[in-house]
A = this chain, B = another copy of it.
Amino acid sequence: MDSQYDIVAIGDAIVDVIATCDDAFLAEHDLPKGSMQLLDTDAADRLYAAMGTAQETSGGSAANSMAGIAAMGGRAAFIGQVADDQLGTIFRHDMTALGVDYDTPPLANGSKPTGRCLILVTPDAHRTMNTCPGASHELTPDALDSDKIANSAILFLEGYLWGPEKPRAAMLKAIETAHAANREIAFTLSESVCMPGRRETFSQMIRDRGIDLLFANELELMQLTGDQSLGQAIASVADKVPCLVVTRGEHGAIAFADGEGVEVPAAPVERVVDTTGAGDLFAAGFLAARARRHDLARCLHTGATAAAEIISHFGARPEADLKALVRL
């Protein structure tokens, strides 16, 4: 079936505030390296006051993926909630400037500011994320553009939005719309999906065949299933989703579909500067290739190439000419 878009994503609409710090700073503020915390406004303000001078760039996991897909020449759309404020304007500008179709209206009641993510990058290139979601978690089913979802080959959902009630309801509605239009539904897991009280609803959805394509890293997959080994975790999930993609950082990635497993190594990188966005761009590459009906190996390779570009510089939005790099 023809489609207007290759991929439409629903995700956090937030601006990243990126600064460097040392390990002592993380320890002092009780931030486990490589983790993601949700912060309320007061906690975010305190952390911001303590952290160093920063750069702001538009972020959000699935939004980064859509930016990557547009940079590869794919037709990407995004649905996410910003407020009517300066950070919201920045987020909207950057999505649009990259060629991503984005027209979710800003939050009308002014109750929450546009979300931000305070990202601390240590000298070993690891990123520790501290998200103050703001308006982003106020996304409701009403804000969805159902035509856009029905007219996209793939619906891509971000795990960070599975926790809060309103955006989870929006995602469930989007899944119905996409199913009715015979579209493929992809979901990227996040640690937050795997927390008690959320894991059950998500596992149920997988059992109900709600998801066609699941992205997860090793830790997230093991947290989801409660298994102690990656092999067990894969076995628990692989027969419930038509396609399972597991990212393994420097060890590359594996995909399972139709009883077959395909593995790729990580693409070589001269110097890893900042791992922010690695998973997002991996998903972008995989999805961009899949929308063009490439095979699993090509999808994995494209994901690995896009991830390698993003970790070679500061920030989670592509800088190099991804279109030329991946040549889809």
Query: Which A residues have a C-beta under 8 Å from some C-beta of B?
Result: 17, 19, 48-49, 51-58, 67, 85-87, 90, 93-94, 96-98, 113-114, 315, 317
Tell me how far the C-beta of A134 lies from the nearest C-beta in chain B, rounded to whole angstroms: 11
Residue among A85, A94, A114 with the highest chain B CB neighbour number at 10 A = A94
Which residues in B have their C-beta under 8 angstroms from that of A51? 97
Cβ-defined contact, A55 with B52, below 8 A: no
Which residues in B have their C-beta under 8 angstroms from that of A17? 90
Cβ-defined contact, A93 with B58, below 8 A: no
Copies in the complex: 2
Known: A56-B56, A86-B113; 11 extra A-B contacts, CB below 8 A, are A49-B93, A52-B98, A53-B93, A54-B57, A54-B90, A54-B93, A54-B97, A55-B315, A56-B57, A56-B90, A86-B87
Secondary structure class of chain A's binding surface, majority of residues: mixed
Which residues in B have their C-beta under 8 angstroms from that of A58? 53
* Docked CA distance A49–B93 (Å): 7
Nearest residue (CB) in B for A89 is B48
Tell me how far the C-beta of A24 lies from the nearest C-beta in chain B, rounded to whole angstroms: 16
* Docked CA distance A96–B52 (Å): 9
Which residues in B have their C-beta under 8 angstroms from that of A52? 97-98
Which residues in B have their C-beta under 8 angstroms from that of A114? 86
Nearest residue (CB) in B for A93 is B48
Cβ-defined contact, B317 with A53, below 8 A: yes
Tell me how far the C-beta of A282 lies from the nearest C-beta in chain B, rounded to whole angstroms: 20
Cross-chain contact of A85 among B54, B86, B96, B97 (Cβ < 8 A): B86
Nearest residue (CB) in B for A71 is B53
